Amino acid sequence: MAAGLADAGRLLRSGEITATALLEEALGTASRTEAQLHAFLTIDSEGAREAAAQADADFADGVDFGPLHGIPVALKDNLCTRGLETTAGSQILAGYVPPYDATVVERLRHGGAVIVGKTNLDEFAMGSSTENSAYGPTYNPWDLSRVPGGSSGGSAAVVAAGSALLGLGSDTGGSIRQPASLCGVVGMKPTYGTVSRYGLIAFASSLDQIGPFTRTVEDSAIALSTIWGHDPLDSTSYAGKYPDPVAGLERGVDGLKVGIVTELSGEGFEPGVEAATGDMLGRLEKAGVQLVEVSLPTFEIALSAYYLIAPAEASSNLARFDGIRYGLRVEGPTTEELMARTRAEGFGPEVTRRILLGTYSLSAGYYDAFYGQAQRVRAAIQEDFARAYDLVDVLVSPTSPTVAFEAGARTSDPLAMYLSDICNIPANMAGHPAMTVPIGLDDSGLPIGFQVMAPPLGEQIMYQVAAEVERQAAFVIAPTAVQVAR
């Protein structure tokens, strides 16, 4: 198998492989692993075969749409795809076939990418294990008794297994980085506003961002270059100058200042995770960085504030699922009863919990005490980050306090599940870019991720550091629980 999408691109252009052969390899991997992983909700073999054949015809004609041309990709099932069922992992959207493509999907299609299918997720992206999907859980390709993380667990598992060379996910509070970490792949959340959310089924609009899952850091930077950019269809889309994420990859890290976040260690962090993180910090220091301990005290309250802001916004966003316009409809004697029955039947327990929490905290008399207070915490987090970035170029931490946990271990304890994202949520609250790079395995053979965070639009320096982390780690993506290569 190609080492990643950049490598596959070279093989496609030298004629050593065809897009069709690349796709058949991906589909073959999917058919060998899906019974165990359940990472896809839809596989579009027919559409993918047509797109691959078209890519081969294009290459034969000397037509080249760039780095994603002919590359098999998988999309989280909260991204709208024209003509292809899009469920957001919810019963309420069962059978929904969007009449349009999300902007990111359109960009992929224009770039000649081959869309293999749609991947599993926690319902409406609410969760950290992909166990909240209405269509059943996904399992971790390194250990089938464990979760792949979430909410974009399907895309993470698919890229780890090799059924696609690029996966897209969404990250509202860690949903790309945490599953990427638990599945041993690279996952990246861009600066808020840089990737269009047009056609992303909204969860919490002030936090949601789309980003790539890849097998290498270079692949991630290449994929980002294709999917991001101004889009007039998204009112939050950034219209200024975008950095070049690829430019710094070979630069090394000599002379950079790297901040270690004090708050993201200690209690709750597994010894294996802390050891691997410490080892990587030592290597970075040898490679020339200056390590600085930085305290960001507001990180301790970021999670609580997130669980007011995200549910509040979700309760508003999910009001559109009413049984009238699209998706599930459960008939009732009155319109109101129809809506109530549809929502009671269509939403699962976690989504219901968030809607209740969000509606309550926004209600008259409570607004300032809850939502208003959370917004003040958010501003304080941004100030903390700004102070830190006066001292250092990037901030680093483990991506997740633990490796992949056992399926079922946190399903009956929402707080334990919420704590899975403790390292990830601050970057969402500030709107900053952040990514994870796999750096090693713990004693039980499970992947450990290393998080790099950067200031807004700091993608170039973030990738520069991530590329060094990748070189130092020399991590091999070889999930042991599934048969991934022939």
Give yes or no for a contact between 78 and 167, defined as CB atoms under 8 angstroms apart: no
Beta carbon nearer to ligand GLN, 56 or 350: 350
Provide, rounded to whole angstroms, the least separation between the CB of residue 189 and ligand GLN.
9
Indicate the residue among 34 and 421 with the shorter CB distance to ligand GLN. 421
Q: Is 76 part of the annotated catalytic residue set? A: yes
Neighbours of 207 (CB within 10 A): 22
By CB under 6 A, which span of 125-133, 358-366, 378-386, 463-471 interacts with ligand GLN? 125-133
Stretch that binds ligand GLN, among 64-72, 120-128, 244-252, 405-413 (CB under 6 A): 120-128
* Ranges assigned E (strand) in 133-223: 166-171, 186-189, 209-214
Query: Considering beta carbons, is residue 88 or 392 the nearer one to ligand GLN?
Result: 88
Measured from each CB, the residue nearest to ligand GLN is: 175
Strand partners, 396: 260, 452
- Active-site residue 151, yes or no? yes
Q: Of 136-155, which residues contact ligand GLN (CB under 6 A)?
A: 151
- Residue closer to ligand GLN, measured from CB, 45 or 359: 359
Per CB under 6 A, contacts with ligand GLN among 402-431 are: 421
CA-based max dimension of the chain: 71
| Residue 203 touching ligand GLN (CB under 6 A) | yes
Site stretch for ligand GLN (CB under 6 A), options 173-181, 243-251, 280-288, 451-459: 173-181
Residues 155 and 179 sit within 8 Å (Cβ to Cβ): yes
Q: Does 310 interact with ligand GLN (rule: CB under 6 A)?
A: yes
Marked catalytic residue, from 90, 129, 151, 420: 151
Among the residue ranges 28-36, 55-63, 167-175, 254-262, the one whose residues contact ligand GLN (CB under 6 A): 167-175
Q: Which residue, chain included where needed, has tokens 């897209």?
A: 168
Instruction: List, in sequence order, the alpha helices (H) in 198-348.
Output: 217-227, 271-286, 299-317, 335-346
State in angstroms the smallest separation of the CB of 355 from ligand GLN: 13
Contact between 317 and ligand GLN by CB under 6 A: the answer reads no
In degrees, to the nearest 5, what angle opens at C-alpha 316 toward C-alphas 315 and 318? Answer: 70
Q: How far is the CB of 243 from ligand GLN (least distance, A)?
A: 23
CB 253 within 8 A of CB 289: yes
Closest approach, Cβ 208 to ligand GLN, in A, equals: 7
172 makes contact with ligand GLN (CB under 6 A): yes
Q: What is the smallest separation between the CB atom of 225 and ligand GLN, expressed in angstroms?
A: 23
Give the shortest CB-112-to-ligand GLN separation in angstroms.
Answer: 29
Does residue 346 belong to the site contacting ligand GLN (CB under 6 A)?
Answer: no
CB 174 to ligand GLN: min, Å: 5
**Cβ-based nearer residue to ligand GLN, 98 or 149:** 149
Q: Which contacts qualify for 30-36: CB closer than 8 Å, 24 or more apart?
A: 30/116, 30/117, 30/158, 30/161, 30/163, 32/482, 32/483, 32/484, 33/141, 33/161, 33/163, 33/482, 33/483, 33/484, 34/163, 36/139, 36/144, 36/481, 36/482
Contact 78, 12 (CB under 8 A): no
Contacts of 327 (CB under 8 A, 6+ apart): 92, 93, 94, 95, 96, 321, 346
Identify the residue whose tokens are 């859980």. 137
Q: Which of 175, 237, 315, 397 is catalytic?
A: 175
Catalytic residue list: 76, 151, 175
Sites of contact with ligand GLN (CB under 6 A): 125-128, 151, 170-175, 203, 310, 421
